[in-house]
Amino acid sequence: MSKILGISAFYHDSAVAITVDGEIIAAAQEERYSRKKHDAGFPVHSIKYCLEETGFCLDELDAVVFYDKPLLKFERLLETYYAFAPKGLRQFVLSIPIWLKEKMFLKKQIYEGLNSVEPYNKKDLKLLFPAHHMSHAASAFYPSPFSSAAILTIDGVGEWATATIAKGEGHQIRILKEMRFPHSAGLLYSAFTYFLGFKVNSGEYKLMGLAPYGDPNSEQTAAFIKKIKDHLVTIYEDGSIWLNQEYFTYTTALKMLNDSKWEKLFECKKVAPDGVLEPCHCNLAYAIQHVTEEIVLKMAKEAKRLTDSDYLCMAGGVALNCVANGKLLKAQLFKDIFIQPASGDAGGSVGAALLAHHMYYDHPRQVTNEPDAMKGSYLGPDFSDKEAVITFKKQKAVYNHIESFDALCAKVAEALDSGQVVGWFQGKMEFGPRALGNRSILADPRDKDMQKKLNLKIKYREGFRPFAPAVQTEHVEEIFDLDTHSPYMLLVAEVKQQERRDMIKNDHNLTIWDKLYMDRGALQSITHVDFSARVQTVHKETNQRFWSLLEAFKQKTGCGVLINTSFNVRGEPIVCSPEDAYRCFMSTEMDWLVVNNYILEKTAQPEWDNREKWRTNFRPD
Amino acid sequence: MIDFLSDFWLYIKERKKYWLAPIIVVLLLLGFLIVFGGGSALAPFIYTLF
């Protein structure tokens, strides 16, 4: 029996996964325990959880696998400084101490970190370090339902690679082509994220949500696309890119780019964090999204050419760009696409563990045909009724238990139908950045004001951001132009024509807020301004409870769609425990909280005076 | 430290990057100064490239 622990840590999104005989048993992100968004610390809590879930101790593991190669990263660091010298002296002086004190001795840090989990015999521990993009590739291919597939990984940067094309065959993965630092599609997108006032490494989603507010037909947008291609990036036919380093500073300075140079190029001011977004910023967002889609599509075509495969697997941070994924699917280059739900660095832990099992130990692979081996990404901890009740009692909460789950669903459906917002906490926590119906905030998408209410009064986030719909997989084609499943909310599809209202002519002359509040159709709150939606298909096989709730809502209202947004506020990691859920529930204007079969109504709860204090714990992301 | 040096030697041999050896030795000596000097090593970066 092979028991392998995969770890991703020390950069961002620390996470752990454990596999037994190649089956992913458990996986969790450290941020959910530490309550620090994108926590990079050694994932002590997640390791404890994974070990508890399997019943193994550290001494029983065959290997612990770290998701990248620190010495190769250090080589990149030194060679980059050498190439750009004498520029970058300040960054050099600041970063070298970090490396000399911590990152170069990562092995020691891992040994010490594991020791703080539990005592173990260091001499018997096998510690492995696969390459960053191999971990990504493995996280995409091994859990996929394909025995053979092309693999495309695209992110900011690993050691040297920023994107790779590989072929997965049986239990082997072979990298065929790679693009190297500093030329990176992920860093290009992150540079625009920074320029548009969002945080690098977490605000990329916001940029993607902002893009549809841009006017695709305007001269300004066309000019932006031309300027990006003429001055910032050369895109080659094989999808590889060359970034003009005169416009970027991430190799030598402490930020992504030179603000004034970009302002001059685009004749558009850089947006301050939480600053005002003008139409030119929306057009710029549209332009970079368009360019990114072109890059991804060309890379996928090259992957097809090199592998001649019918299937594609994707991972890496850029694979979370669900708009680009949707376009790639529509291009029908491949019969089917599998995207790792935890495509960012957290998912590297899954890949690292699976890579060791299949490649290092040479174990054959059992292909899971339906739907994939990620188990719906419900790989995190669950909490018993007893644990929930202990929390409620501690908080002096008022709660009711409803024995029949059908009755509970009927009650929740009724609350949702009357415009109320429900915190829905069930079963195992999701692994990856999306809440998929176990740690979710749910609401009625037909409510015209729901997007505003959720953004401003519950999530406390930017008002322009769209919400995703959850729909039973059997009914997805009735509402969306999507003929496949999207269980991980990684595909964007258009809302069907019959669900839309025609927008008035020249709508792109409207401000961002006028566009947002304009009547777009029956499912206003999940229909983005370009009539797209980031769809989650809910499957009875992987999430019976959420599926049943959707069924109850459909029976009650005739509408089989719910808004599904993550159970957290801006800057807060998604809730992990009933205690996190209760705190979030009490500190926002959520109306109901459901934990397992327990239901709590806001109006019945005792006074909660920690609201402001609690929210200030989380820095805006 | 011996563990690190042996890993480092294997890495240099594998990658044939012998020119990195003197740089890393000098940096390691500097590192000792930093460690014993108790200097701060906080990451000031907006993006974790390094």
Cα separation, A6 vs A340, in Å, equals: 16
pLDDT (0 to 100) of residue B44? 45
A83 interfacial to chain B (CB closer than 8 Å): no
Mean pLDDT across the stretch A281-292?
98
Query: What is the CA B4 to chain-centroid distance, rounded?
Result: 10
> Chain B residue with minimal CA distance to A254?
B45
Q: What tokens does B4 get?
A: 């690190």
B2 interfacial to chain A (CB closer than 8 Å): no
Only one residue has tokens 């529509």, namely A330
Using a CB-CB cut-off of 8 Å, the residues of chain A touching B22 are none
Three-class SS of residue A163?
Answer: strand
Using a CB-CB cut-off of 8 Å, the residues of chain B touching A251 are 49
Nearest to B47 among A94, A107, A200 (CB): A200
Q: Is the pLDDT of residue B49 over 90?
A: no
> Chain B residue with minimal CA distance to A255?
B46
A12 interfacial to chain B (CB closer than 8 Å): yes
Q: Is the pLDDT of residue B38 over 70?
A: no
Q: Is the pLDDT of residue A560 over 80?
A: yes
Using a CB-CB cut-off of 8 Å, the residues of chain A touching B3 are 107-108
pLDDT digits (tens, 9 = 90+) for A224-279: 999 999 999 999 999 999 999 999 999 988 889 999 999 999 999 999 999 999 99
User: Which helix (H) or strand (E) is B11 found in, with range?
Assistant: helix B2-15
Give the pTM.
Answer: 0.94
Cα separation, A562 vs A419, in Å, equals: 12
pLDDT digits (tens, 9 = 90+) for A490-525: 999 999 988 888 765 556 778 888 888 888 899 999
Using a CB-CB cut-off of 8 Å, the residues of chain B touching A98 are 41-43, 50
Nearest to B4 among A91, A105, A157 (CB): A105
pLDDT (0 to 100) of residue A501? 82
B10 interfacial to chain A (CB closer than 8 Å): no
pLDDT digits (tens, 9 = 90+) for A20-70: 999 999 999 999 999 999 999 999 999 999 999 999 999 999 999 999 999
Query: What is the CA A101 to chain-centroid distance, rounded?
Result: 31
B16 interfacial to chain A (CB closer than 8 Å): no
Provide, rounded to the nearest whole percent, the portion of chain A with pLDDT above 70: 99
Q: Would you tell me the crossing angle of helices A132-141 and A348-355 to the nearest 10 degrees?
A: 90
pLDDT digits (tens, 9 = 90+) for A363-403: 999 998 778 999 999 999 999 999 999 999 999 999 999 99
Cα separation, A144 vs A118, in Å, equals: 33
pLDDT (0 to 100) of residue A95? 78
Q: How many CB pairs under 8 A join A and B?
A: 76
List phi, psi (to 5°) of A36. -115, 115
Least confident of A345-359, A589-603, B6-20: B6-20
Domain range summary for chain B, segments of one domain joined by +? 2-37
B-proximal residues of A, 156-185, CB under 8 Å = 156-157
Q: What tokens does A528 get?
A: 């983005």
Q: What tokens does A258 get?
A: 């030179």
Using a CB-CB cut-off of 8 Å, the residues of chain B touching A203 are none
For A460-529, where are the E strands, in sequence order?
468-472, 491-494
pLDDT (0 to 100) of residue A103? 79
pLDDT digits (tens, 9 = 90+) for A69-114: 999 998 998 899 889 888 888 888 777 777 777 778 899 999 999 9
Using a CB-CB cut-off of 8 Å, the residues of chain B touching A156 are 47, 49
Mean pLDDT across the stretch A123-152?
97
User: Which helix (H) or strand (E) is A613 found in, with range?
Assistant: helix A611-616
Whether residues A98 and B50 touch (CB distance < 8 A) is answered with yes
Q: From the CA of A50, how many Å to the nearest CA of chain B?
A: 26
Only one residue has tokens 């039973």, namely A472
Q: Is the pLDDT of residue B35 over 70?
A: no
A425 to A50, A130, A236, A385, A386: CA distances (angstroms): 20, 36, 47, 12, 15
pLDDT (0 to 100) of residue A78? 87
Tell me the pLDDT band of A548, cut-offs 50, 70 and 90.
very high
Most B CBs within 10 Å: which of A11, A98, A200, A204, as the mutation test of the B interface?
Answer: A98
ipTM reported for the complex, 2 dp: 0.76
A71 interfacial to chain B (CB closer than 8 Å): yes
Tell me the pLDDT band of B48, cut-offs 50, 70 and 90.
low
Q: From the CA of A254, how many Å to the nearest CA of chain B?
A: 6
Q: Is the pLDDT of residue B50 over 80?
A: no
pLDDT (0 to 100) of residue A90? 80
Nearest to B17 among A12, A75, A104 (CB): A75
Whether residues B4 and A104 touch (CB distance < 8 A) is answered with yes
> Chain A residue with minimal CA distance to B18?
A75
A243 interfacial to chain B (CB closer than 8 Å): no
Higher pLDDT, A252 or A284: A284
Whether residues B46 and A94 touch (CB distance < 8 A) is answered with no
A256 interfacial to chain B (CB closer than 8 Å): yes
Using a CB-CB cut-off of 8 Å, the residues of chain B touching A85 are none
B27 interfacial to chain A (CB closer than 8 Å): yes
Give the domains, in start order, of chain A with CATH numbers: 1-142+346-363 (3.30.420.40), 144-339 (3.30.420.40), 385-616 (3.90.870.20)
For residue A243, the one-letter residue type is L
Q: Is the pLDDT of residue A313 over 70?
A: yes
Whether residues A187 and B7 touch (CB distance < 8 A) is answered with no
Cα separation, A538 vs A493, in Å, equals: 15
pLDDT (0 to 100) of residue A371? 86
Give the torsion sign (CA, A326, A327, A328, A330): positive
Using a CB-CB cut-off of 8 Å, the residues of chain A touching B35 are 100-101
* 3-class SS shares of chain B: helix, strand, coil, % to 5: 65, 0, 35
Whether residues B41 and A102 touch (CB distance < 8 A) is answered with yes
Using a CB-CB cut-off of 8 Å, the residues of chain A touching B49 are 156-157, 187, 250-251
Mean pLDDT, all residues of chain A: 94
Q: Is the pLDDT of residue A528 over 80?
A: yes
Using a CB-CB cut-off of 8 Å, the residues of chain A touching B2 are none
Using a CB-CB cut-off of 8 Å, the residues of chain B touching A78 are 20, 23-24
Query: What is the CA A508 to chain-centroid distance, rounded?
Result: 29
- Of A436, A323, A303, nearest to A371 by C-alpha is A436
Whether residues B3 and A107 touch (CB distance < 8 A) is answered with yes
Q: Is the pLDDT of residue A327 over 70?
A: yes
Q: What tokens does A65 get?
A: 């696998």
> Chain A residue with minimal CA distance to B12?
A71
CB A620 within 8 A of CB A274: yes
Whether residues B47 and A250 touch (CB distance < 8 A) is answered with yes
Mean pLDDT across the stretch A435-463?
93
CB A114 within 8 A of CB A58: yes
Q: Is the pLDDT of residue A527 over 70?
A: yes
pLDDT digits (tens, 9 = 90+) for A188-200: 999 999 999 999 9
Three-class SS of residue A25?
Answer: strand
pLDDT (0 to 100) of residue A231? 98
Using a CB-CB cut-off of 8 Å, the residues of chain A touching B42 are 98
pLDDT (0 to 100) of residue A304? 98
Whether residues A91 and B27 touch (CB distance < 8 A) is answered with no
Q: What tokens does A464 get?
A: 């322009």
pLDDT (0 to 100) of residue B23? 83
Whether residues B48 and A201 touch (CB distance < 8 A) is answered with yes
